[in-house]
């Protein structure tokens, strides 16, 4: 079976963990500080970064630090992982679900504009599958209505919009370092931000403390450990090569897949292919079962249930592109450890399933 995703952990990651274990300095310390510095320089154009214990924590703390709370609304897509809306709801604010545009599965700027109310505090685009949201139009809408922008860049390390890296646009941006993401620290997250927001994220992740036992605000323990940071630092050195391999794999699929809709890339976008997501207009679930069981090709549906219809939100909304995407999307393996033979197997399998369905 060709797996849908596979974290790549090598001797260098193991050696880095050993070095930290041998040092005895396991909790947040110098490895974390070095990881923050290196990630900021290499991924978000020198913007400051704060490491936390998960992407979700980063998103939660970023929102708290940006001043989001009860009475506020934050516009989010419904077609995303639940963490996006969860982090808004956990601040006491209300996530307001807007529809996506059908090409890149990201927030539709027109839908965002239509969802703005006097209570809207900000908008949180998700750079879904590694394709950046339209930051030009979303930025213009935000400016016109006095909104903040928060980026969910969980799937988009090293993606760019119009030449600028994702993570450099909003009040803050969150990157996830979960094992299936484009790079990992085991579990972890990175928040890019500056000024007061950066200071508040740093305080919030550590019980509101800067000086020990002089807690300035009510915070959490969302610290990253030196062990995780050491893994992340090694992975960061490999990110550029892995991203290029993902893009090369995607180019192969673009050139050879037939009978399915391949993912288009906006002219302003650098897509980093966290997922390579096709649309299957027939019976998508049968197509996925055939891929797995008849051809040994792992695949995934991200995400089968739009967030607004999850029991946790249970809202009756009319988001037609969100519903259609949830019915049609199928992500095939695009990760950098695929061999040329794997790529050919995947193409043959997808084309055969498409033909059988037609
Ligand atoms: C993975 C992910 C998150 C959450 O990140 P964790 O590190 O798993 O907490 C949030 N949003 C999106 C779109 C994700 O894919």
Mutate to test the pocket of ligand 1, among 80, 152, 191 (most ligand atoms within 8 A of CB): 152
Q: Does any ligand 1 atom lie closer than 6 A to the CB of residue 80?
A: yes
pLDDT at 106: 98
User: Please, are residues 204 and 219 in contact by the beta-carbon 8 Å criterion?
Assistant: yes
DSSP for 81-136 reads -THHHHHHHHTT-EEEEEPBPTTTSSB-HHHHHHH--TTEEEE--B-GGGPPP-HH
Q: Does any ligand 1 atom lie closer than 6 A to the CB of residue 105?
A: no
- Please state, in angstroms and rounded to a whole number, the distance separating the CA atoms of residues 96 and 117: 10
Host H or E run for residue 22: helix 11-23
List CB contacts of 106: < 8 A, sequence separation 6 or more.
Answer: 77, 100, 125, 126, 127, 128, 131, 132, 133, 134
pLDDT at 158: 98
One of 181, 211, 238, 355 is an active-site residue; which one?
A: 181
Query: Would you say domain 240-356 falls under CATH 3.90.1150.10?
Result: yes
CA of 60 from ligand 1 middle (Å) equals 11
Residue 181 appears among annotated catalytic residues: yes
Strands of 120-123's sheet, edge to edge? Answer: 49-52, 189-193, 172-176, 148-152, 120-123, 73-77, 94-98
End-to-end CA distance of the chain: 25
Mutate to test the pocket of ligand 1, among 133, 151, 154 (most ligand atoms within 8 A of CB): 154
CA of 174 from ligand 1 middle (Å) equals 9
- Please state, in angstroms and rounded to a whole number, the distance separating the CA atoms of residues 229 and 341: 34
DSSP for 136-156 reads HHHHHHHHHHT-EEEEE-TT-
- Please state, in angstroms and rounded to a whole number, the distance separating the CA atoms of residues 115 and 76: 10
- Please state, in angstroms and rounded to a whole number, the distance separating the CA atoms of residues 85 and 312: 10
CA of 319 from ligand 1 middle (Å) equals 22
Q: Which residue lies with its CA nearest to atom 2 of ligand 1?
A: 154
What does the pLDDT profile of the chain (358 residues) look like in tens digits? 999 999 999 999 999 999 999 999 999 999 999 999 999 999 999 999 999 999 999 999 999 999 999 999 999 999 999 999 999 999 999 999 999 999 999 999 999 999 999 999 999 999 999 999 999 999 999 999 999 999 999 999 999 999 999 999 999 999 999 999 999 999 999 999 999 999 999 999 999 999 999 999 999 999 999 999 999 999 999 999 999 999 999 999 999 999 999 999 999 999 999 999 999 999 999 999 999 999 999 999 999 999 999 999 999 999 999 999 999 999 999 999 999 999 999 999 999 999 998 5
Tell which CATH classification among 3.40.50.720, 3.40.50.2300, 3.60.20.10, 3.40.640.10 matches the domain 11-234.
3.40.640.10
User: Please, are residues 116 and 145 in contact by the beta-carbon 8 Å criterion?
Assistant: yes
Q: Does any ligand 1 atom lie closer than 6 A to the CB of residue 222?
A: no
Q: Which of 34, 56, 65, 89 is nearest to 170 (CA)?
A: 65
Q: Which of 70, 80, 51 is nearest to 201 (CA)?
A: 51
CA of 115 from ligand 1 middle (Å) equals 24
- Please state, in angstroms and rounded to a whole number, the distance separating the CA atoms of residues 272 and 234: 19
pLDDT at 346: 98
Host H or E run for residue 173: strand 172-176
Ligand 1 atom nearest residue 57's Cα: 9
Domain ranges of the chain: 11-234, 240-356
Q: Does any ligand 1 atom lie closer than 6 A to the CB of residue 307?
A: no
Q: Which residue lies with its CA nearest to atom 14 of ligand 1?
A: 154
Ligand 1 atom nearest residue 128's Cα: 13
């Amino acid at each position: 079976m060709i797996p849908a995703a596979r974290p790549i952990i090598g001797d260098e990651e193991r050696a880095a963990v050993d070095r930290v274990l041998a040092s005895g300095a396991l909790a947040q310390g110098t490895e974390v500080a070095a990881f923050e510095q290196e990630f900021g320089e290499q991924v978000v154009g020198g913007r400051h970064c704060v490491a936390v214990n998960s992407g979700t924590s980063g998103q939660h703390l970023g929102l708290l630090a940006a001043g989001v709370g009860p009475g506020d609304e934050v516009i989010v897509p419904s077609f995303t992982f639940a963490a996006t809306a969860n982090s808004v709801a956990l601040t006491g604010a209300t996530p307001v679900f807007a529809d996506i545009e059908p090409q890149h599965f990201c927030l539709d700027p027109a839908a965002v504009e239509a969802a703005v109310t006097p209570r809207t505090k900000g908008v949180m685009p998700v750079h879904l599958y590694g394709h950046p949201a339209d930051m030009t139009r979303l930025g213009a809408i935000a400016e016109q209505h006095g909104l903040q922008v928060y980026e969910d860049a969980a799937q988009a390390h090293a993606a760019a919009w119009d030449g600028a890296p994702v993570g450099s646009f909003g009040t803050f941006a969150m990157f996830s370092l979960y094992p299936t993401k484009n790079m990992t620290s085991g579990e972890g997250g990175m928040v890019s931000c500056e000024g007061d927001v950066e200071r508040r994220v740093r305080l919030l992740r550590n019980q509101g403390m800067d000086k020990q036992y002089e807690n300035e605000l009510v915070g959490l323990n969302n610290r990253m450990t030196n062990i995780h940071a050491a893994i992340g630092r090694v992975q960061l050195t490999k990110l550029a090569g892995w991203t290029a391999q993902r893009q090369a794999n995607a180019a192969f699929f673009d050139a050879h897949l037939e009978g399915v809709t391949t993912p288009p890339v906006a002219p302003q976008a650098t897509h980093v292919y966290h997922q390579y997501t096709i649309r299957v207009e027939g019976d998508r679930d049968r197509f996925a079962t055939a891929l797995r069981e008849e051809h040994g090709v792992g695949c995934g549906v991200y995400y089968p249930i739009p967030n607004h219809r999850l029991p946790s939100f249970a809202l009756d909304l009319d988001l037609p592109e969100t519903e259609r995407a949830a019915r049609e999307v199928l992500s095939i393996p695009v990760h950098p450890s695929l061999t040329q033979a794997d790529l050919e197997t995947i193409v043959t399998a997808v084309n055969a399933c498409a033909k059988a369905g037609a």
